Amino acid sequence: MPSAPQRALELYGIISLDVSGATSPVRGVTVLSFRDVGALVADASYAAPAATPTHVAEYRRVVEGAFARQTIVPAPFGSIFRSRDSLMRWLELHYFTLLEAVTFVADRAMARVVVSYGDEPENTTAMSIDADLLDNAADESFRLLRRHAVASVVISNHATEVGPAARASFLIERERWDVFNDIVREEQKRLREMHVECTGPWPPYDFVRMQFGA
């Protein structure tokens, strides 16, 4: 009698099995093990999921729930594999890269920093002038903050529909999280006409690149 077809799987992230073994750190997902790394997965349809608020919230629940308990390398939202076998082949092919990624982000967290004006510009000309001033101020702040981070990436540095805003992410040693936040607060005092906001600690969303091609 032929075996039932395998279900597609949604991948949420990669964890080390040294911490929790093959036990899932969050409810609603299972761990697919390969050597000493585990893939957090759940059954899914073999189709790219729509980025609905419900689906995004579930993705964040799993990734951030695992992050609260151990190191996780988040998979990009909507990472779908045709079957268990295809995911196992991918884990085997990229095992050493994934293990290196888990090691790199261990005991580290992501901070997102936004530099913006508090008030919406009155017109397009004012927005353009403010954007230039903010770009210069944000570049200086981001250079300072990079000295206290393991890695950094500028997400955006341009005018938005609600006014100029510059955004960057920083990968921080967990033991230096309070120090980093103190420096952000000092930047807020220096840039009194702007808002300098730091959120986190987050999983290292902006520091992960996964290759899914054959």
| H-type alpha helices, 31-94 | 53-67, 84-93
The structure's pTM equals 0.82
Rounded CA separation 24/61 (Å): 13
Q: Which helix (H) or strand (E) holds 144?
A: helix 124-146
Q: Are 191 and 203 in contact (CB under 8 A)?
A: no
Rounded CA separation 172/178 (Å): 10
Binned at pLDDT 50, 70 and 90, residue 7 comes out as: confident
Q: Which helix (H) or strand (E) holds 39?
A: strand 37-44
Binned at pLDDT 50, 70 and 90, residue 119 comes out as: low
Q: What is the reported pLDDT for 24?
A: 81
Q: Domain residue spans in the chain?
A: 8-106, 108-206
151-167 pLDDT tens trace: 999 887 554 445 578 89
Binned at pLDDT 50, 70 and 90, residue 145 comes out as: very high
For 108, counting Cβ atoms within 10 Å of its Cβ (0-12 exposed, 13-18 middle, 19+ buried), the class is: buried
CATH class of 108-206: alpha beta
Rounded CA separation 49/14 (Å): 20
